Amino acid sequence: MTTFPLAARATEVAARATELSKVYGQGETQVVALDRVTVDFEQARFTAIMGPSGSGKSTLMHCVAGLDSFSSGSVRIGDTELGALKDKQLTRLRRDKIGFIFQAFNLLPTLSALENITLPMDIAGRKPDKEWLNRVIDMVGLSGRLSHRPSQLSGGQQQRVAVARALASQPEIIFGDEPTGNLDSRSGAEVLGFLRNSVREMGQTVVMVTHDPVAAAYADRVVFLADGRIVDEMREPSADAVLDRMKRFDVKGRTS
């Protein structure tokens, strides 16, 4: 077998949407949230999905992550076609292969930080890899807070628990929808730094929806959505470059 170690790895695809469309409603109230979107999310890379409000960012993430159905086209996570799965299989795929971080931290109030972190694996009946778990907990700086309940933690700390929870099972891909949307800029920067480190140091794949150019600049690549279509992309983004690109969208989201 011919191998192209680095070149091949750099372009391996963790998830792919092909001609993906999502239409809400019918007739006059119909909304085309995604209009034949084709996009790859590369393995061990940090990709940001940017675009004006209503451009379809959350819809794209939810469809690719198997959280929402789509109208046409196809979605692949690794080698698995989501369209071919029954509900139970989809649930299992989400549980075993995908990590989620949402704007609301979604922690269980009665559980400790550590119990929240291991909850998805507990539900799946899987034992966490102790060494990995410790590494993740160390990275997000929660070692001294593991027995705290969410109410005893700041917003930034709670989102660090959610980041650790997503990383703990070493999922094939982590999806975040505005993961820093509820955080002050300092806590947000910390969480984004942890996500970036998980990609750089642990080879994690991360796809993050954001409308914030500063957050997008933590990614390796930004794809821009407008009116349910991919209209541009940028590698090695800076916040200024992303902001400049965003200014070229008018209020309706179209490119000028």
Ligand X SMILES: Nc1ncnc2c1ncn2[C@@H]1O[C@H](COP(=O)(O)OP(=O)(O)O)[C@@H](O)[C@H]1O
Q: If binding means CB under 6 A, how many residues of this protein chain bind ligand X?
A: 12
Residue 28's identity, in one-letter code, is E
Are the C-beta atoms of 66 and 99 separated by less than 8 Å? no
Piece of 24-32, 140-148, 200-208, 213-221 that binds ligand X (CB under 6 A): 24-32
x/- string (CB under 6 A) for ligand X, residues 121-140?
--------------------
Report the alpha-carbon distance of residue 136 to residue 129 in Å, rounded.
11
Residue 238 binds to ligand X (criterion: CB under 6 A):
no
What residues make contact with Mg ion under the rule CB under 5 A?
58
Q: If phi over 0 gives left and psi between -120 and 50 gives alpha, with beta otherwise, what is residue 173?
A: beta
CB of 39 to Mg ion, least distance (A): 16
- DSSP 8-state code for residue 249: B
Residue 3 binds to ligand X (criterion: CB under 6 A):
no
Which is closer to ligand X, CB of 95 or CB of 254? 254
Piece of 51-59, 80-88, 164-172, 237-245 that binds ligand X (CB under 6 A): 51-59
> Per the structure block, which two tokens stand in for 216?
């997008």
Report the alpha-carbon distance of residue 215 to residue 232 in Å, rounded.
17
Report the alpha-carbon distance of residue 174 to residue 2 in Å, rounded.
30
Piece of 47-55, 69-77, 105-113, 140-148 that binds ligand X (CB under 6 A): 47-55
Site residues for ligand X per CB under 6 A: 24-25, 31, 33, 51, 53-59
